[in-house]
Amino acid sequence: MAADVSLFQIFMDGVFIKNFLIIQFLGLCSFVGVTKDTKSAAGMSGAVIFVMTMAATVSYLIYSFVLIPLKLEFLSLISFIVVIAALVQLVEFVVRKNIPSLYRSLGIYLPLITTNCAVLGVVLLNVLNEYSFIQSVVFGVAAGIGYTIVMLMMSGIRERSTLVNVPSAVRGLPQAFLIATMLSMAFVNYFGVIPI
Amino acid sequence: MSLTTLLIQAMATLGGLGLVIGIMLIAASRVFKVETNPLVEEVVEVLPGANCGACGFAGCADFAERVVEENAPLDGCPVGGFETAKEIGGILGQDVSEAEKEYPYLRCNGGTKCVDRFDYVGIEDCTAVIMLSDGEKGCNYGCMGRGTCVRACPFDAITIGDDRLPDVNKNLCKSCGLCIEACPNDVLMFAKDSEKVHVQCNSHDKGKAVKAVCEIGCIGCKICEKNCPEDAIKVTKFLAEIDQDKCTACGICVEKCPQNCIEMR
């Protein structure tokens, strides 16, 4: 099924048509929590791109070389969670050792990626769509880029909207949800751009 | 395949996966181990923990690290003040001498004495007011009184009084300087308690323009400059400035100033 889908299609699919944040509503906690300022949104996005790519790669290897030969596909969910948690831990080690300034500015957001369901979503969708190795990796990168685009758009809008005179009942989180709704409606227009 | 073998296989697979990943993580934590100095922890303990960033570093933990490892100044934490500096010095085995504490000082006495050009209706924020054609005040240099400094202060040391001017409570103030940074018109500045005489104006406008909008602004008449026996006052760009090193707080300029904008405290 998935073999005849071109890499470009998968890429556009991950970035726009099936955008993880505002079309599939995955990873919303970081979407609302980290988008108060652009700097931390960008840092979070960078880490998520890396983890998504790595998770797509490693989990494909585990799924097709460990779980399928042993006919243990039902273990995919729990083993993917283990893989993602280990990867985030590894990223934390490396960043702390090599780029301490980035480690300090990311703070709590780095371990938060472990519980980011968008990462697990990428991995599970790869299995569901029966993507090959290359396709899985491309989908992982695309999902990360789509996440980044929306995070940056959202943080930019929220940063500017703090200076606007908003009714006090709507200020804060309600305002964030309204903005997310409008962003989501804009992205709905990408449906059907590429048949997949 | 019976249920038992399936169960055993599943347990073995997950257990094996966990074991492999665990071993890899242990190896990684050995390779990427970060050496932490135990002194850093001790310094963090004595710091106030406000994480206000007034020291110029990312937070208290960052400051502690820089003090221990990169020779940042021991009295770099303005919030903790001399007490904290002494404790840090005790941990690191160095002596500290006390520097005099500085407080934010308002260079404007306009407030309600300065006329408004229009009625402002909008968010209560000095930056927002100034974005609207340089503010509602007749004077473009003075304090807007909309409380940006009040909100910037993490220690609740500033209040806006009835005269629409901020009032700094010295008992609560920790000299972190965040209000000075937040003020869009730069009317707040640091001043020591020993510096007695201050010019209460920030306006560089010509005398006539100042008189038209403000009752007590500096008009640059140079009377203070001529009368100062210590040659400590200079009028530059229609605004008197006091050289605090030369000033002896004799009070002559305070008496002579026709606008009453020099104050002794």
CB spacing of A104 vs B28 below 8 angstroms: no
Instruction: Tell me which chain B residue has its CA closest to the CA of residue A107.
Output: B58
Confidence at residue A138, expressed as pLDDT on a 0 to 100 scale: 94
- pLDDT tens string B160-213: 888 889 988 888 888 888 888 889 888 998 888 888 888 889 988 888 888 888
ipTM over 0.85? The verdict is: no
Residue range B245-261: mean pLDDT, rounded: 87
| A2, pLDDT greater than 80 | no
For chain B, counts of helices (H) and of strands (E): 10, 8
| pLDDT range class, residue B49, cuts 50, 70, 90 | confident
Q: Are B218 and B201 in contact (CB under 8 A)?
A: yes
**Residue B68: which pLDDT band, with cuts at 50, 70 and 90?**
confident
Mutation target among B25, B30, B33 for the A interface, most CBs of A within 10 A: B25
> What is the structure's pLDDT at A196?
58
Residue B264 to chain A, least CA–CA distance (Å): 39
| pLDDT at position B63 | 83
Exposed e or buried b per residue across B197-231, where buried means at least 16 C-beta atoms within 10 angstroms of its C-beta: bbbbbbbebeeebbeebbbbbbbbbebbbeebeee
On chain B, the residues whose CB falls within 8 A of the CB of A71 are 1
Q: Which residue has the higher pLDDT, A113 or A16?
A: A16
More confident residue, A37 or B23: B23
- Residue A104 CA to residue A96 CA, distance in Å, equals 8
> Which residues of chain A have a CB within 8 Å of the CB of B24?
86, 90
Q: Binning pLDDT at 50, 70 and 90, where does residue B230 land?
A: confident
Q: Where does residue A169 rank: exposed (0-12), middle (13-18), buried (19+ CB within 10 A)?
A: exposed
Indicate yes or no: CB of B122 within 8 angstroms of CB of A66.
no
Which of B13, B29, B128 has the CB atom closest to A93's CB atom? B29
Averaged pLDDT for residues A124-148: 92
What SS3 class is residue B131? helix
Interface size A-B, in CB pairs within 8 Å, comes to 52
DSSP symbols for B61-118: HHHHHHHHHH---TT--TTTHHHHHHHHHHHHT----PPPPEEEEE----GGGB-BSS
Q: Are B202 and B108 in contact (CB under 8 A)?
A: yes
Give the residue, B38 or B7, on which the prediction is more confident.
B7
Residues of B in contact with A105 (CB under 8 A): 58
- For residues B103 and B166, is the Cβ–Cβ distance under 8 A? no
Nearest residue in B to A93, CA atom? B32
Tell me the pTM: 0.56
Q: Is the pLDDT of residue A169 over 80?
A: yes
* pLDDT at res. B162: 85
B214 is in an annotated binding site: no
Q: What does pLDDT average to over chain B?
A: 85
Best probe of the B interface among A65, A79, A84, A159, by most B CBs < 10 A, is: A79
Q: What pLDDT shows up at residue A154?
A: 93
| Cβ pair B25:A75 closer than 8 A | no
DSSP 8-state symbol, A74: G
Is residue B52 annotated as involved in ligand binding? yes
Interchain contact, A165 vs B24, CB within 8 Å: no
pLDDT of residue A148: 94
Q: Find tokens 């492999």 and name the residue.
A: B20
Lowest mean pLDDT among A39-43, A56-60, B93-97, B228-232: B93-97
Q: What is the pLDDT of residue A124?
A: 92
